[in-house]
C-alpha cells in the first residue's frame, strides 16, 4: 500500500518483537522499513505522517493519551490514526472479563488495564470517522482522520 516511495517506522520497546519484525522485513526484502527500539511515549514522530497504526499496545501504556496527542500532531492533512486494541465491554459479566484477561495475560494484560480507555483518547484528539467492535466488544477499532 505504501509503495516504493513510502516508509514504515515500527516502534516497540521489546527486543523480541523487533526481532520478529526484522525477520519479516528481511524475508520480504523490504528496504523502506525502519525499526526503532524505544518506549512509544518517548518516540518523536516525524512530521507529516500519513498514517499511524497501533495494534494491541496502547492499553498497555500508561501514557497513551500523550502518545495519541503527539501522534496526532505529526499527522499530515488527510492523515489517519487507527487503534486496534482490547477493552472491557460495558455490559460484560465479570466472569467473562476475568476469563478474557486470563487468556491474554501472557501478553501483559491484567485486570487493572480494563479501566484504561485509549479509544476516548483518539476521540479527543482525532475526529473519529470509523468505529467497530469485535469479539463481543472485547476488541475495538476506531479510525480518525485529520482534515
Phi and psi dihedrals of 73, rounded to 5?
-65, -25
pLDDT of 51: 93
Q: What's the count of helices (H) and strands (E) in the chain, helices before strands? A: 4, 6
Q: Are 66 and 125 in contact (CB under 8 A)?
A: no
- Give this prediction's pTM: 0.81
Where does 7-98 show beta strands of DSSP type E?
8-12, 33-37, 49-55, 75-86
Calpha distance 84→57 (Å, rounded)? 8
39-145: CATH topology is: Rossmann fold (3.40.50)
Q: Across the 147 residues of the chain, what is the mean pLDDT of every consecutive 10-residue run?
A: 85 91 94 92 91 88 89 92 87 82 78 80 87 88 90
Contact 83, 54 (CB under 8 A): yes
Amino acid at each position: 500500500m505504501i509503495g516504493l516511495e513510502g516508509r514504515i517506522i515500527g516502534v516497540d520497546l521489546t527486543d523480541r518483537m523487533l526481532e520478529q519484525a526484522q525477520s519479516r522485513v528481511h524475508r520480504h526484502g523490504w528496504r523502506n522499513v525502519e525499526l526503532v527500539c524505544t518506549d512509544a511515549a518517548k518516540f518523536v514522530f516525524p512530521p507529516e505522517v500519513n498514517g499511524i497504526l497501533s495494534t494491541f499496545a496502547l492499553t498497555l501504556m500508561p501514557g497513551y493519551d500523550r502518545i495519541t496527542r503527539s501522534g496526532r500532531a505529526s499527522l499530515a492533512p488527510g492523515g489517519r490514526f487507527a487503534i486496534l486494541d482490547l477493552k472491557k465491554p460495558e455490559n460484560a459479566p465479570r466472569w467473562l472479563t476475568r476469563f478474557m484477561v486470563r487468556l491474554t495475560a501472557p501478553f501483559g494484560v491484567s485486570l487493572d488495564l480494563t479501566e484504561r480507555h485509549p479509544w476516548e483518547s483518539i476521540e479527543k484528539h482525532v475526529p473519529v470517522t470509523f468505529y467497530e467492535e469485535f469479539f463481543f466488544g472485547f476488541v475495538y477499532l476506531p479510525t480518525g482522520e485529520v482534515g
